[in-house]
Amino acid sequence: MQGSTLVKVVTAMAIIIFISALALMAYRLGGAALNWEMGGDDPVLKIYPANESLYVISASNVSLVNAKGSIIWAVRYPDVLYSAYYNGTLYVYSMGRGLSAIYENGTVRALTGMGMDHPPLIGPDDTIYLRSGAILSAIDASGKEKWSASLVVSDPVVDGSGNVYFFMRPPGRIAEVYLCCMSPDGGTLWSSYCEKYTASMRLRPASIGGVLVYDEYSGVLYHVDASGNQTWDHSMAYLGQYSLVVDEKSRLYLFYLWGTVHVLNERGEMIGKFNPVVTNNANLSYTPAVYNDTVYVIGDSGKDLATLYALDLYGSLKWNRQFNSSAAPLIYPGRDIVCIDTVSNSGGQPSPVLYVIGKDGTLKYTYSSGDGSRWEQVYIGPDDTVYAKTDGGKLYALKG
């Protein structure tokens, strides 16, 4: 009898513990299913989507991981400082091993021991551009150096034809800055003096060829074609500072901090204009996002509260979703969902939270990072699996 009672007590306690564990998991996951996780003793540094798998760069190695979290292969490559992904190949650089190409079958090809202090850039002809200080070097796919340029003052960009653009100072006239265009084999196609150059000026390849020249702080934005001609100019210093976002259809969105949003097509023609600060109380100091014809902005909604607004290209409201937030939120849109990375005080203690919201504004689930760190990289997979990496080196695969 006593043994039977003991069994019943133990069983009851086990059930209580099990229910408590489920409740704790439900509180932490907020409706999410944790498919798998990585990190722990070998922190994850960066991820790159590769078809239906992921390249995962950790502190000690590089691996290819499938959607189920199984490691297809792993190669030892510690202390990766810079990386880039292009056309199925991952390029990684460490001071100890230099630059290597890692292919989808796990083969590693050492390319060069040349030093670099910026991520590599790969052109459509597989020319690889490396920048170290003021030196820009080009190597071919085997690692052989093709050419180099000195006195370079910007990161290079490459257009669809393989031409490379960068700012540089000519020898003997270092007070001047020129925008240069070179062919992949090192021939100078043209060089144009930039009278109004600033250190915050950036370059971006244009979908129609050539390059976009922009400065988000001074309001500058114009296009230069592959022949060196300025084809359009949308510089508006009087509107002040802006954030530039380019969507998957090559449309340009200029989110001016004072409230106005300009939408341009690739030819510089304005196709939309609205002010979400006035109409939706948005705060454009929070980084906006655009995906699939939807503009995402965030506004403050009171103490420890914020609201995500989903707008069309003309500023009309599609939907909005309020969420707990006590820190600057970040938006990660993709496919049929959008993720919000923020910090919540709803439980009485600051906790990094990832909100996963459906395309109609419904809250699908939330997830709190297990290591107490904020989310540093979020990728939404083809089946809406969310791959979220914290700045503490943990990688989670989530599904709602």
Residue 153 has pLDDT above 60, yes or no: yes
Q: How confident is the model at residue 375 (pLDDT cuts 50, 70, 90)?
A: very high
Determine the 3-state secondary structure of 362 from DSSP: coil
Q: How confident is the model at residue 349 (pLDDT cuts 50, 70, 90)?
A: confident
Give per-residue pLDDT as tens, 262-320.
999 999 999 999 999 999 999 999 999 999 999 999 999 888 899 999 999 999 999 99
Q: Which of 203, 205, 200, 206 is nearest to 219 (CA)?
A: 200
Query: How confident is the prediction for the chain on average, in pLDDT?
Result: 90
The whole-number pLDDT of residue 244 equals: 98
Q: Which residue has the tokens 């503490």?
A: 392
- Yes or no: say if 375 and 353 are a contact pair by the CB < 8 Å rule: no
Average pLDDT of the residues in 204-217 = 96
Q: How confident is the model at residue 18 (pLDDT cuts 50, 70, 90)?
A: very low
The whole-number pLDDT of residue 31 equals: 73
What is the rounded CA–CA span in Å between residue 30 and residue 158?
43
Give per-residue pLDDT as tens, 356-372.
999 899 999 999 987 88
In sequence order, what DSSP letters do the residues of 181-226 get, joined into one string?
EE-TTS-EEEEEE-TT--TT-EEEE-TTSSEEEEETTTTEEEEE-T
The whole-number pLDDT of residue 351 equals: 87
- Yes or no: say if 288 and 296 are a contact pair by the CB < 8 Å rule: yes
The whole-number pLDDT of residue 26 equals: 38
Give per-residue pLDDT as tens, 380-399.
998 899 999 999 999 999 99
> What is the reported pTM?
0.88
- CA angle 383/103/35 to nearest 5° reads 30
- Structural domain 198-274, CATH architecture: Beta Barrel (2.40)
Q: How confident is the model at residue 1 (pLDDT cuts 50, 70, 90)?
A: very low
The whole-number pLDDT of residue 10 equals: 30
The whole-number pLDDT of residue 347 equals: 63
Give per-residue pLDDT as tens, 130-141.
999 999 999 999
Q: Which of 76, 82, 101 is nearest to 91 (CA)?
A: 101
Strand 98-102 to strand 395-399: parallel, antiparallel, or no bridges (unpaired)?
unpaired
The whole-number pLDDT of residue 365 equals: 95
Give per-residue pLDDT as tens, 72-83.
999 999 999 999
Q: Which residue has the tokens 């949003």?
A: 261
Take residue 64 and report the two structure tokens written for it: 């290819």
The whole-number pLDDT of residue 15 equals: 33
- Yes or no: say if 391 and 374 are a contact pair by the CB < 8 Å rule: yes
Over the range 232-264, which residues count as b (16 or more CB within 10 Å of their CB) and which as e? eebebeeeebbbebbbeeebbbbbbeebbbbbb
Residue 11 has pLDDT above 70, yes or no: no
